[in-house]
Structure 1
Amino acid sequence: MHAAPTPDMNDMLPVRRRRITPAVEALVLAIALAIAVATYFVLTGGASNTRVISPPLVALLLVANLVSGTTLMMLIGRRIARRRAVQSQIGGNGQLHVQLVALFSLVAAVPLVLVNIFASLLFQYGVEFWYSDRARGMLENSTALLQINYNQELDRISAEASAMRVDLAGYLRDYPITSETFARGLVFQLSKRNMSETAIFVKGDPVPIAFVNPYERRLDRVVTPGMIRKIDSGTPSVVIQAKDRAALLMPFKYGKGAYLYVARVFDPSVVEQWKRGEQLVADYRDMESRSRALQLRFNSALLVISLLIVALAVWIALAVADRLVRPLGELVGAARRVADGDLSTRVPDPRTLDEVGTLANAFNRMTGRLQEQNRALVTANDQLDSRRALIEAVMAGVSAGVIASGEDGTIRIANNSASELIGTGIDSVVGQPLALIAPELADLVASGQREAIVQVVRGGETRTL
C-alpha cells in the first residue's frame, strides 16, 4: 500500500477563493438590493409625502446606497480584472488588476462619501430651515400684516364713503344734483374724506350724472352690470380693486337705482407690494409642496454622480493595470521562449524610460549576452569534440595502453590496447570507475607516483605493466 500525497496548501487556495468569491458577490448584491428596497419604502412611506425628510436619515440612506454600490462595482471590476488576467500572456489571478481596482475605488469612494455627507446635510438643513414652521410663520405673518393694512385701508374707504353718502344725501335735500352748489359740495366731500375720485350713477346709464374725475379716465366702464346686480340683491357695497386704486360702489338715495362710486388712488409700489406678498405666499406654498421632491432629487443626483465617479475610477484602474501588465506580459512571453531555448527572443523597444522600460532593456541585454555566450559555448564544444575525435584517432593507432581519468576517478579516455592489457572484458570502459576496472592502477594513481611496475591478474593470468 502506498500513502496518498498530502495536498499543498498553495494548491488549495485558488480553489477555495473560487468557491468563496461568488458567494461574497451574491451577498453584496443581495445587500445592495435590500438597501435599495428599504430606501424606497422609507421615502415613499410616512404620513405626508410633501414634508421634508429628516436630514440625518436621508444622509444615512445616501451613504448606505453609495457604500453598497461602490462595493458592488469593486467586485465587478475584480471579476473583469481576473478575466483579463486569464486572457493575458501572464495568466494567474490578476492580482495587480485587483489591487489597482481596489486602490482606485477606495481613493475615489472615501472622499466621495465624506463630501456627500457634508453636502447632503448642509443642503438639507438649509432646506429644512426655509421650509420649517418658523420660516413659514415669518413669511405668512409679514404677508398677513400687508393684508391687514390693505383691509384696514378698505375699511377706512368704506367708512368715509358711508359718511360721504350721508352728507351728499343732505346736500340733495337743499340743492339739485345739477347745481353748482352740489358740485362744490361733492368736491369738498372728496377732499375732506381724502378720496381721489367719485361719481354718481343711475341704473341703466353707464355715464355718471355727477362726478369728480381729476385723473380724466373713462368712468363709463367702471361700473359693470354684475356689480349692479350684487347691489340690487342686497349687498351693502362692492369693492373694486385695480392695480393703482381701491374703490367702493354702494347704493345712493337719489330716485330709483342710484349708486355712489368712491375711489382712492394709491402709490403703485404699495399696491404692488400687497400683490407681491400674496404671490410670494402662493409661490412659497407651491415650493413647500415640492420640497420633498427637491430634497430627494438633490440626493439622488449626488448618489448617481458619485457612483459614476466610482465607475470611472474602476475603469481607469483597469486601463492603468492593462497598460502596466502589457509590457510585463511581453516580458513573461519572451522569458518563456528563452526557457524553451530561443535565445534570439527580444521584447519590443520600450516607448518610455520608466521602470518597466529599464527592465525591458535589461532583459534584451541579458538575452543578447546569453545568445553570445551560448554561441561561444557551442563553438567551444565543437572544438572539444574535434580535439576528442583527433585524440581518439591517434590513440587508436598506438600499441601502448593509454587511460585518462578525472579527479573523481572516472575513466575519460581508454584505447583498445589498454582494454586488452588490463583484460576487463568490457567493450567500453569509458565512464566506468577506475577502481572498478583496474584497482591496481587506481592505487597507483592514489599513491601519487609517476612511474611504477604494476601486476594485474586476470583470468588466472598475471600481467606485468
Structure 2
Amino acid sequence: MAAEAPTLNQPLFSQAGTRDGRRLLALPGVVAIAGAVITAAISFAILVGATPIAPTADTTWALVAANAVFVLFLIALIAREVRRIVLARRHGRAASRLHVRIVAMFALVAAIPAIMVAIIASITLDIGLDRWFEIRTKTIVNSSLSIADAYVQENARNLQGTTLSMAYDLDASRTLYGLDRSGFLDLLNKEAVGRGLAHAALINPDGSFVMKAKTDADFAMPEPPAGAVDTAAAGKPVLIEPRTRNIMGAIIKLREIEGLYLYTIRLVDPDVIKARQIVKGNTDEYRNLEDNRRTSQVAFALPYLSLTLIIILSAIWTGIAVADRIVRPIRQLIGAADEVATGNLDVAVPVRQSDGDVASLGDTFNNMILELK
C-alpha cells in the first residue's frame, strides 16, 4: 500500500521506515532466487554425472524435492505480491494500471524465451535419443555381440568334436588302461598333443584328477567347475565357455572305462575374448539404457524444467520489485497532485536520489508547490 503523501510539517523519517519495510519484504525473494539458482545448478551437475554423487533414483527424487521447495516458495512470494497489486487495482490506487503493465512486460519478456528454449531442448533430447535407439544402431550393437559369440561357439563345436573323438579312442583302449597305466598315459599325451589341446586329463566324478597329459601349456590345468561333472553324467558333453580367461573346456563321460570322465582344455584368441567381454558389457549397458529411456528423458528434462520455472518466476518477482520502485514515486506524485487540486498546498513529495529522473521530477514538483504557496 502506498504511503500517504506527507505535509511540509510532517517528518520524513516515516519514509525511511517504509523503505526498510520494503527491503525486509524483498529479502525472502532474493534468498529464494539465489537458492533456487544454486540448487538448479547443483542438480544439473549431479544429473549429468559431473560430481562424485551418483544420479540414482533416490538422488533424483531428493533433487526434485529440493528444487520444488524453492519453486513453491517463489510462487508463494509472487502470489502475495500479485494479490497486493490486484487489491490496489480494485481500490483504484494511482498508477495501478502502469504497475500491472510493467509486471506483465517483465513476465512475458522472460517467459517466452525460456519456454522456447525448454521446448527446443526437449525436442532435441527426444530426437537424440531416437537416434541412439534406432534400428540401425540396434543392428550394429547386436551384430557386434553376435560375431564374438559366433567365434566362441565355433571353437566350442570344434572342441566338442575333438573331445568326442578323443573319448572314442580312449574307450577303445580300455584294455590298455586296465593293464598298463603308463602306456595309457602315453596314449593320452599323444592324443592331447596331436589334437592341439592345451590340457587333457581323466577325472573322477568328484572332479579329482586321475591322470593328466603332459603338454607344452605354460599354465596349470584348472579344476573343473562345480556341477559340470554331474551334468556330464548323462553322457552328453558339457562345454565350459571362456569367461575371464581365454580358456575353453569340455567334459564327457567315458563309456567303456567305468566311473571316469575326459576333461579337455583348449586356448582361444585372448583378443577376441577380451573384445567379446567389452562388447557384451556395452550391449548390456545399451539395453539397460533402452529399457530406462523414459527415466533418462525425465532425468535430463528435470534441469530444463527447473531452470525454466526458476527463470520465469525470478523474472516475475524481479518485475514486481522493479515496478514497485518505478510506480512508488509516480504514485506519490499523483497523490500529492490530487492534494494540490483540492487546495492543500502543505504537501511535499519525498525525494530519494536513487529514484533518478523521477527524483528530479519530485524536486521540481516540490519547488513548484513552494512557489505557489
TM-score range, shorter chain: 0.5 to 0.7
> 1:177 and 1:149 mapped to 2: Cα distance?
40
Q: CA distance change for structure 1 residues 246 and 218 in 2, over 3 Å: closer, same or farther?
A: closer
Q: In structure 2, what is the equivalent of residue 178 of structure 1?
A: 181
* Aligned partner (choices 330, 347, 352) of residue 349 of structure 2: 347
Q: CA distance change for structure 1 residues 336 and 93 in 2, over 3 Å: closer, same or farther?
A: closer
- The TM-score with structure 2 as length reference comes to 0.67
Supply the AA of the counterpart residue of 1:102.
A
* Aligned partner (choices 81, 105, 119) of residue 117 of structure 1: 119
Is contact 1:169-1:253 (8 Å) kept? yes
Q: In structure 1, what is the equivalent of residue 237 of structure 2?
A: 237
Say whether residues 1:328 and 2:308 are aligned partners. Answer: no
- Tell me the CA shift for residue 324 of structure 1: 0.8
Supply the AA of the counterpart residue of 1:310.
I
- The TM-score with structure 1 as length reference comes to 0.55
Supply the AA of the counterpart residue of 2:160.
S
Q: In structure 1, what is the equivalent of residue 63 of structure 2?
A: none
- Tell me the CA shift for residue 93 of structure 1: 6.8
Q: CA distance change for structure 1 residues 296 and 342 in 2, over 3 Å: closer, same or farther?
A: same
1:299-356 deviations in whole A, cap 9, x for unaligned? Answer: 4654454233222222111111111111222223333344444434322232226221
Q: Which runs of 5+ in 2 are unaligned?
A: 1-77
Count residues with an aligned counterpart. 293
Supply the AA of the counterpart residue of 2:232.
I
Q: In structure 1, what is the equivalent of residue 253 of structure 2?
A: 251
> 1:282 and 1:169 mapped to 2: Cα distance?
43
* Aligned partner (choices 116, 126, 129) of residue 127 of structure 1: 129
Supply the AA of the counterpart residue of 2:150.
I
Q: In structure 1, what is the equivalent of residue 363 of structure 2?
A: 361
* Aligned partner (choices 195, 198, 204) of residue 197 of structure 2: 195
> 2:206 and 2:311 mapped to 1: Cα distance?
76
Supply the AA of the counterpart residue of 1:113.
I
* Aligned partner (choices 291, 310, 315) of residue 312 of structure 2: 310
Is contact 1:78-1:97 (8 Å) kept? no
* SS at 1:352 equivalent: helix
1:240-261 deviations in whole A, cap 9, x for unaligned? Answer: 2342111000122553111111
> 1:310 and 1:204 mapped to 2: Cα distance?
73
Is contact 2:198-2:267 (8 Å) kept? yes
> 1:268 and 1:293 mapped to 2: Cα distance?
37
Supply the AA of the counterpart residue of 1:124.
D
Q: CA distance change for structure 1 residues 336 and 177 in 2, over 3 Å: closer, same or farther?
A: farther
Q: In structure 2, what is the equivalent of residue 389 of structure 1?
A: none
* Aligned partner (choices 208, 211, 222) of residue 209 of structure 1: 211
* SS at 1:113 equivalent: helix
- Tell me the CA shift for residue 109 of structure 1: 2.3
> 2:351 and 2:82 mapped to 1: Cα distance?
31
Is contact 2:199-2:214 (8 Å) kept? yes
- Tell me the CA shift for residue 361 of structure 1: 1.6
- Tell me the CA shift for residue 151 of structure 1: 0.7
Supply the AA of the counterpart residue of 2:86.
R
Taking the TM superposition and a 5 Å limit, the aligned residue runs for 1:229-308 are 229-234=230-235, 236-241=236-241, 242-244=243-245, 245-253=247-255, 255-299=257-301, 302-308=304-310
Structure ranking higher in helix proportion: 2
Is contact 1:78-1:101 (8 Å) kept? no
1:81-132 deviations in whole A, cap 9, x for unaligned? Answer: 3324457xx8147211221122112212222233233212211111112122
Larger Rg: 1
Q: CA distance change for structure 1 residues 302 and 223 in 2, over 3 Å: closer, same or farther?
A: closer
> 1:289 and 1:216 mapped to 2: Cα distance?
42
Is contact 1:202-1:209 (8 Å) kept? no
Is contact 1:157-1:264 (8 Å) kept? yes
Determine which structure has greater relative contact order: mean sequence separation of CA pairs < 8 Å that are 6+ residues apart, divided by chain length: 2
